[in-house]
Amino acid sequence: MSSSAADQHPAETRDATTQVAGHSAAHPPRSTELASLKIRLRAALRQFPDFPSPGILFEDILPIFADPTLHEALLRSLELHILQVHGDQKPDVIVGLEARGFLIGPSLALRLGASFVPVRKQGKLPGPCETQAYDKEYGQDFFQMQADSIKPGQKVIVVDDIIATGGSAYAAGELINKMGGNLLGFIFILELEFLKGRDKLPAPVYTLLSGQEEKA
């Protein structure tokens, strides 16, 4: 576009660019941009065999948070997915599960103009709380949310780093339902697919880096 044409159509010029990490850059199609970001993020993961128990290939997401450009890529990836799937029906609330959901949730909520609500173990939150039990390998545990943290009808997305058995995510969904929230879905960075945790969940599940591939 020539400078004169740009002067005549300033809105079109603005729409052709996006702000990424404080800099203006050409905006590729969302699907193309998301695919490229996912390649970068997967390459950053570290793998540890037989952790925390034999037969498990543990994928460490912490290198993503150690690099500001990768951290930005993660948030942009999640934002792109939400825009693709929900469009104008963006969430009012992002719910993050203790503890690594707290690494993702607040920044993503800020980016989307949504509020952030934490889900914590029983006894960690002040004031009146809603409580939900969930099963763990060696017994039961309890999750809580502050009773006034979600208003009836608010659109909610749950985020966490990984889905394994799905028990804790299911408990979060039940808490949201108790408060009258509209659960749009669950978002995870990684998934232990052989545990089939997503089958327990009452709303759509999206895993950003689905499919575990052992690195050489």
pLDDT at 136: 82
174 is catalytic: no
pLDDT of residue 71: 98
pLDDT value for 15: 39
Position 10 pLDDT exceeds 80: no
pLDDT digits 0-9 by tens, 12-23: 433 333 444 444
Our answer to whether residue 137 is catalytic in this structure is yes
**pTM of the predicted protein model:** 0.84
| Active-site residue, selected from the candidate residues 100, 111, 174, 193 | 100
Q: What is the domain partition of the chain in residue ranges?
A: 3-207
Q: What is the DSSP string of 130-198?
A: EEEEEEETTEEEEEEEETTSS-TT-EEEEEEEEESSSHHHHHHHHHHHHTT-EEEEEEEEEE-GGG-GG
Q: What is the CATH class of 3-207?
A: alpha beta
Tens of pLDDT along 83-140? 999 988 899 999 999 999 999 999 999 999 999 999 999 999 999 999 999 988 778 9
